[in-house]
Structure 1
Amino acid sequence: MITVQGVVDRVGPTLLRTVLPGERGVTDVVIAELGRRTHVADGDLVLGVTVNTAGKAAELVEYCGAHGAAAVLLKPPLAASSGALTAARDTGTAVVEVHNATAWAQLVWLLRTVLDAAEDDEHATEPGNQGLGDLFRLADAAAAVVDAPVTIEDANSRVLAYSARQDRTDPARVSTIMGRRVPDDVLARFRSRGVFRDLSRGRTTIFVPAQRDGTLPRLIVPIRMGGELLGSMWAVVPGPVSDERAAAFADTAPVVALHLLRRRALADAERRRSAELVRTMLQGKGSVRLAAAELDLDNEPHRVVAIDVDTTDALDAEGLRLALWERISAGVGRRPAVTELHGVLYAIVPDQAGWPALSEALRSETGALVGAGSPAEITELADSRAQAEEALSLVRARLVHGPVASHDEAWPVVALHRVAAAAVPTAAADLGPLPVLRAHDEQTGSSYVDTLYEWLRHPGDPKAAARALRIHANTLRYRMTRLTELTGLNLDDPDTRMAVTVQLATTRWA
């Protein structure tokens, strides 16, 4: 793992200077957001983009150091302020000064380039991985051939490597590199122009002219091997490219394809091994602690998260699950351990350092249905799995609002559902006058059952009950008079009210 000083050395003294060294390894780059408590994990380089006072600098360094950050990057004079340095010494984090004239966006590119290249270099030293560190060098070579900045992307539009000279591009490329994935709005624009359809059809090169929103022209080359689309290379070009230069750019694709195949083979083997370890932990059988150690899970409370997709098409569902698995495994917050069982994805995430980021990310995924168990000790995840599956079943049945539910937060719905499910076999909902109301609603189209339900849900507040039914309060009162005349219900009796409430909950929540 590369150190803070290693990152500073690779970026160069023109942009970065170590003010206070540290010994923690670096794993990722995080931007501190204005007005929000930034999620920080072990090994993060935290960029103080919005920090503008010495007090805020000291507060950020103290918070990041307490959460295991490798270093905090600040511009002068904040990097040398006494409060920031004191906080850094107390928490063991490093402080790095960023040259005043450096653009933060440019620095993010440079830092992620350094980290990605360092990670590839580490893989390259492992047995069987020789040559895997060359993707960034291949991106530079392809950029030299086409004389334009290049990205290498996988089949899911995730950025694997990119060349230098990205400062000569456009906002679409900037957001792609900063997010390490082509944003959805950018994908939609290229999809509307038929780019991905052309990629799938096997064209050698695809030229996309400049767009009205300012997006510069693109020259795109599919990366194929044995008829399979592995990814693509995207060059931001000033205009149409000569046939000779486009052909030379396309000639680099087979070399890149070999590297992508090797990377995928390694990733598939690691994923299979990780999936088996996750299954061991979910079942709570065998060497659970050994599995946790091999998955590098800390000894802290974790949650099991069950993830399904909202589609009835089996083939489409499989594709959506694979895409979700890819995105989750690529790292959302603290990278979760993931497996698939019976058509459902299961992830194990730290409660504090993983679940908030994963929950937020999954809410933005179209078609994802998510249930999370309560936090549990690392050896007791079988219970959290059962809770995750129960929460997921409530999401599928639309008994909770939204696509994501955690068992501990959705406990009122869980309780109602359990009571209702237990009452169904007893036919309790068929006792008394409630069947009369149901029959009347079916025959006349009235809504007396719904009216009674909302009246009981909002005791003493007829206006709230009327709002829930989207009717006037006087209409509610009229309906209540009519349904009591029809059934003879004595709603002044507390036991009758409770019994009818249980009956209606049974029909609504089972």
Structure 2
Amino acid sequence: MTTVQGVVDRVGPTLLHAVVVPDEAVAVTDVVIAEPGRHAAAGDLLLGVAANTAKEAAALVQMAGEHKAAGVVLKPPIASSVQRAARSAGVALIEVHGQTAWAQLVWLLRTVLDAAESENDEGDDPASGALGDLFRLADAVAAMVDAPVTIEDANSRVLAYSARQDITDPARVSTIMGRRQPDEVLAKFRSKGVFRQLSKGRSAIFVPAQADGTLPRLIVPIRMGGELLGSMWAVVRDRVSDERSAAFADAGPVVALHLLRRRARTDAQRRRFAETLRGLLDGTGSPRLAVAELGLPDAPHRVVAIDAAGRAPSGEVDAEGVRLALFDRITTGFSRLRAVAELDGVLYAVVGKDSWPKFAETLTAHDMPPLVAAGSATEIGALASSRAEADETLLLLRAGLLEGHSAAYEQAWTVLALHRAAAAAGSAGVAELGPIPVLRKADEDGTSCYVDTLYAWLRHPGDPRAAAEELRIHPNTLRYRIRKIVELTGVSLEDPDIRMALLVQLVTLRWV
């Protein structure tokens, strides 16, 4: 656990000064720029970028206290009224040197938090002292190549970066701030063939400066046993000497060992989390253990079922590869969820009651989106029922009975009701009764569409124009087909019971 005082001590008194420190220490979990209208989360260290007056600063401190944030960082002078508000709210108040750039402070504080988390994860591992954490390694490599360095994984996510920022450009700033290379930056380097060279080579790659102001890069692939684990990027002023370039490349195997150990530790942790979640989903797990192990608040949650292949034809999508990428995005990317597991080829995630819409929107915002279905919100101990609902909703998405690529159980009740009724009627052989088999046989040669025509006519009672529009035919053609249906079957469509029975049969055919 890293407290506010711990962060201040690590950064040092030159830059940060603790003005108010509550008696009860609160762990710092993230660094967040405070924005108007945006509430803090528990453990956030809020940067008061927009708090330009004592009144605004006091309001920010009060909001931080209400949401159990770890503290607020402000530039001097800090009015006595703001200090009183901090003591009253039980929130730490930190003063940062007035000339400090907020962007640089974000980098520095996140470096401190990530380094502290890495040290906590390393525990008593004897190898950790020899290899050091990735941030210390990035600093060492930066000194070696005399340039700022980032260490990234194979998906261009930033795992660590050096403290020195004497050479930088907008691409590096956006990469570190977003914790991954932005799409436009990736496209820029992809057009230069950088990633093709990374996938094949082992030596350092030099990329000259670009017309838009992007500074030169020296890039080294990180490999182990032929597998590309990631890469190191150095922002340089110009070509570096062969000796420095070789030394930069020689650091690759050391970083690779660290990444392998980190991945092994992460994989073991994921397996433990997944096993705990599977117990919840099948109704055999302990809710109390799940709350502690998975970090789930004791509040209503939804189970979300995710089909990685979406609606793509079988064989056209590497479902396993997409599923692994989705798993990685959910657990380490936009949501950082622990409660994620795979069962029978489907990914399951547990999300908060109200976070489902944003979760679905983020997952499906791609050219070939997965299918995402959510069960209704329920208590932790009843997640097995939410999973059953998510599974049923996912089946309807797969069958195309629900529009779009995502759906929530409670919003799909009409389709669910019809599908369940059709399933029950289908198992009872309802569709084989009366005139429907006659119409189906007549349609076999492809010259008539009696079944579809009757279904549309029954769905739009008294409105032949709407029925004809649904079938994309002229209303007179619809009327002609209905007369032929009556002649062929001998049924009276004036009888309301006959119409209801026919509709049940046709729904059964359509929805099962």
The alpha-carbon distance between structure 1 residues 201 and 459, as it changes in their structure 2 partners (threshold 3 A), is same
**Inter-partner Cα distance in structure 1 for 2:55 and 2:357:** 27
CA–CA separation in structure 1 for the residues paired with 2:326 and 2:497: 49
Aligned partner of 2:378 among 376, 379, 382: 376
C-alpha distance in structure 2 between counterparts of 1:372 and 1:94, whole Å: 39
Q: CA deviation at 1:160?
A: 0.6
Letter in structure 2 aligned against 1:106: Q
Q: Which residue, out of 504, 508, 511, partners 1:509?
A: 511
For residue 415 of structure 2, the aligned residue among 413, 418, 423 is 413
Structure 1 residue 171 and structure 2 residue 170: aligned?
Answer: yes
Q: CA contact under 8 A between 1:334 and 1:350: conserved in structure 2?
A: no
Q: CA 1:505–1:249 in 2, change beyond 3 Å: closer, same or farther?
A: same
Structural mapping, 1:59-458, within 5 Å: 61-73=61-73, 80=79, 86=85, 92-96=90-94, 102-128=100-126, 130-131=128-129, 133-166=132-165, 168-310=167-309, 312-313=314-315, 316-330=318-332, 332-333=334-335, 335-352=337-354, 355-364=356-365, 366-429=368-431
- One-letter amino acid of the structure 1 residue matched with residue 218 of structure 2: L
1:304 CA displacement? 1.8
Number of matched pairs = 501
SS at match of 1:198: helix
Gapped regions of structure 1 (runs ≥ 5):
none
Distance in 2, Cα, partners of 1:109 & 1:303? 34
Equivalent residue letter for 2:219: I
Contact 1:7 1:114 survives alignment (8 Å) = yes
Q: Could you state the TM-score of these two structures normalised by the residue count of structure 1?
A: 0.83
1:23-65 deviation per Cα after TM superposition (whole angstroms, max 9, x unaligned): 3211123344566x55x43212234556677777666555554
Tell me by how many angstroms 1:233 deviates: 0.4
Contact 2:152 2:160 in 1 (8 A): yes
| SS class of match (2:330) | helix
C-alpha offsets along residues 252-271 of structure 1, whole Å, 9 cap, x if unaligned? 11221121122112112212
In angstroms, what is the RMSD of aligned CA positions?
3.7
Could you say if the C-alpha distance between residues 286 and 138 of structure 1 is closer, same or farther in structure 2, counting changes exceeding 3 Å? closer
Task: Flag the 1:484–1:464 CA change in 2: closer, same or farther, 3 A.
Answer: closer
Q: Deviations over 1:200-243 (max 9, x none)?
A: 21331222334455433322101112222221101223343332
Q: Quick check: 1:224–1:231 contact (8 Å CA) kept in 2?
A: yes
What is the DSSP-based 3-state SS (H/G/I as helix, E as strand, rest coil) of the residue aligned with 1:232? strand
Tell me the equivalent position of 1:4. Answer: 4
C-alpha contact (below 8 Å) 2:167/2:237 kept by paired residues:
no
Question: Which secondary structure does the structure 1 equivalent of 2:298 belong to?
Answer: coil
Instruction: Report which stretch shifted further, 414-423 or 370-379.
Output: 414-423
Which amino acid letter does the alignment assign opposite residue 341 of structure 1?
L
1:16 touches 1:97 (CA, 8 Å); kept in 2? yes
Provide the rounded CA distance (Å) in 2 between the counterparts of 1:383 and 1:396. Answer: 20
1:402–1:188 Cα change, 3 Å: farther
**Closer, same or farther in 2 for the Cα pair 1:418/1:142, shift >3 Å?**
same
Residue 299 (structure 1) shift: 1.9
Residue identity in the other structure for 1:66:
E
Q: Which 10-residue stretch deviates more, 420-429 or 366-375?
A: 420-429
For the 8 Å contact 1:31–1:48, the answer to whether it is kept is yes
TM-score (norm 2): 0.83
Moved more, 491-500 or 318-327: 491-500
Is the deviation greater in 380-389 or in 55-64? 55-64
Cα pair 2:108 2:163 within 8 Å, conserved: no
Q: Report the Cα distance in structure 1 between the residues aligned to 2:495 and 2:88, rounded to whole angstroms.
A: 65
For the pair shown, the structure with the greater C-alpha radius of gyration is: 2
**2:449 and 2:365 mapped to 1: Cα distance?**
36
